[in-house]
Amino acid sequence: MPRQKIATMSTEVTQSLRNAESMRKVPNSMDPRLDQLVVYSSVLEHLLQQKLHYEHERDMEQLRLERFKCEGAKDNRIHVQMQVVKKVQGMLPDIVFKMRNEYDKFERFLHREKALKGINLSLYDKGMQLLKACKKNLEQTL
């Protein structure tokens, strides 16, 4: 499944970005652009995780609604479950909007600051991997 692959990839990127703090203690860490890179990456990673979480929750609640309908649950219970599905679904557009904005900012930053490759190649590459994972995930949203 594509979501599992993206989730796995984003988990790897998250783990790498968590180790970024220790990487920044290298003498080259005096460059404030490295801090920007870590911040942009962290924000985008967080939004990706939120999006994946709410998509998973939406699917789970939708399945629960279908199960209630098949089992012949009371109308009140079905109505409540429909409200739950709507509430979870309502969270996604805002997250997608924020994610697209942060994706664009981060992409512009990485293209503008190509010199970061020479300062810290591993952080730069992890940022590029995160961009690719987010792009795939956003394309699936359309």
Whether residue 6 is contained in a domain is answered as yes
pLDDT band at 47 (very low <50, low <70, confident <90, very high): very high
128-138 pLDDT, tens digit per residue, is 999 999 999 99
Whether residue 93 is contained in a domain is answered as no
Higher-confidence position of 78 and 142? 78
Indicate the pTM of the whole model: 0.75
What's the number of domains the chain is made of?
Answer: 1
What's the pLDDT at 18? Answer: 59
Percentage above 90 pLDDT, the chain: 65
Higher-confidence position of 25 and 44? 44
Q: Contact, 54 vs 99, CB < 8 A?
A: no
Boundaries of domain holding 40: 2-55+98-141
At a CB cut-off of 8 Å and minimum separation 6, what does 91 contact? 54
Q: Which helix (H) or strand (E) holds 116?
A: helix 116-119
Structure tokens of 132?
Answer: 């690719």
Q: What amino acid is encoded at 22 in this protein?
A: S
What's the pLDDT at 73? Answer: 86
Residue 81's nearest CA partner among 65, 92, 69, 67 is 65
Whether residue 115 is contained in a domain is answered as yes
Whether residue 84 is contained in a domain is answered as no
At a CB cut-off of 8 Å and minimum separation 6, what does 121 contact? none
Q: How far apart are CA 54 and CA 137, in angstroms?
A: 13
22-43 pLDDT, tens digit per residue, is 444 544 557 888 999 999 999 9
Percentage above 70 pLDDT, the chain: 79
Whether residue 128 is contained in a domain is answered as yes
Structure tokens of 63?
Answer: 């399945």
Whether residue 125 is contained in a domain is answered as yes
